[in-house]
Amino acid sequence: MFALGIEPHFIRNPKLWPTKPAKFSETLEEYSREIRKLCEKLLKFIATSLGLNQDTFEEMFGVAVQAVRMNYYPTCPRPDLVLGLSPHSDGSAVTVLQQGKGSSVGLQILKEDMWVPVQPIPNALVINIGDTIEVLTNGRYKSVEHRAVTHQENDRISIVTFYAPSYEIELGPMPELVNENNPCKYRRYNHGEYSKHYVTNKLQGKKTLDFAKIQTKNSS
C-alpha cells in the first residue's frame, strides 16, 4: 500500500514521490487532474438528482482534498483466513477505483447482509459513495461498505482516489433534505476532526459514522 496527498498542494510530501519510473510524477499529475474533473461532475449529478443546484457541493467543499492510494494484494495460500482489507466505508465524498488490467476479483460490497463480488470491467472505473455524502444527504445516498479479499493463484493491483471537502469545512445534513418523513440523522461537525477520527480508528464496517450520528433511544 502506497499513499500520496495530491491536492491541495500543502498536503503533498515531495520526499514520498518516487523518481522512478521517470514519468511517474507526470503521469500521476495528469491522471489526478482528470479524476478530479470526474469527481466534480459526479457531485453535480448527485446534487441535481436531489433537486439541488448542481454547484451545491462545489461551493460547499471549498478547496477539495484529493489523495491517491496504490494497493498491491499478493497471492495468499489461505485466502479463507486472510482479507486484503477489512470491511469499511470511506470517509470521502466519493471514491474512484481503478482495478489493474487482468486483476482478480478482489472488491466486494455488502448488500442485504451478503458480500457481493464486483467484477472488474475493462476500461471502467468503480465509484463508491463515501460517508461525507451520506451525512450531507441525510442518508438519501448511502456510503458503501466494502472489503478486499485475497486469492490463492492471482495477485491484484488497484489505484484508489479519495475526494473530500476541505478540512476546515463544517458539515451536516443539508436543510433541504431534512423533514418530518426524514428527520435529521447526523450532527454538524468539522470535517478535519472527522478525518482525524477516521484515520486513528481501525476499520470496522461503518462504525466511524457513529462520530456523526445523532443518538436516539432507538439507536443500536
* Reported pTM: 0.91
- What's the Cα-to-Cα distance from 17 to each of 74, 100, 106, 153, 163, rounded to whole Å? 23, 21, 27, 31, 19
Beta strands in 14-155 (DSSP E): 65-73, 83-88, 94-99, 107-111, 114-117, 126-129, 146-149
Query: Considering the chain, what is the average pLDDT of its residues?
Result: 92
Q: What is the mean pLDDT of residues 100-119?
A: 86
Mean pLDDT of 44-58: 97
| In-domain check, residue 219 | no
Q: Please answer whether residues 143 and 131 qualify as being in contact, where contact means their C-beta atoms are separated by less than 8 angstroms.
A: yes
* Chain segment 167-219, per-residue pLDDT in tens: 999 999 999 999 999 999 999 999 999 999 998 988 889 998 999 998 776 55
Is-contact 174 147, C-beta < 8 A?
A: no
Continuous segment of H or E residues that includes residue 30: helix 24-49
**Domain annotation covers residue 143:** yes
What pLDDT sits at residue 64? 96
Q: Is residue 174 part of a domain?
A: yes
State percent of the chain over pLDDT 70.
97
Assess if residue 220 is contained within a domain.
no
d(CA 60, CA 55): 8
Q: Is the bond preceding 120 in cis, omega lying within 30 degrees of 0? A: no
Structural domain that includes position 64: 2-211
Asked if the structure places residue 84 within a domain, the reply is yes
pLDDT digits (tens, 9 = 90+) for 128-166: 999 999 999 999 999 999 999 988 888 888 999 999 999
Residues present in the chain in total: 220
pLDDT reported for residue 156: 87
- pLDDT for residue 219: 52
Q: Whole-angstrom Cα distance, residue 99 to residue 92?
A: 19
Q: Is residue 217 part of a domain?
A: no
Query: What's the structural domain count of the chain?
Result: 1
| 160, part of any domain | yes
Examine residue 43 and state whether it is found in any structural domain, yes or no. yes
Q: What's 23's domain CATH number?
A: 2.60.120.330
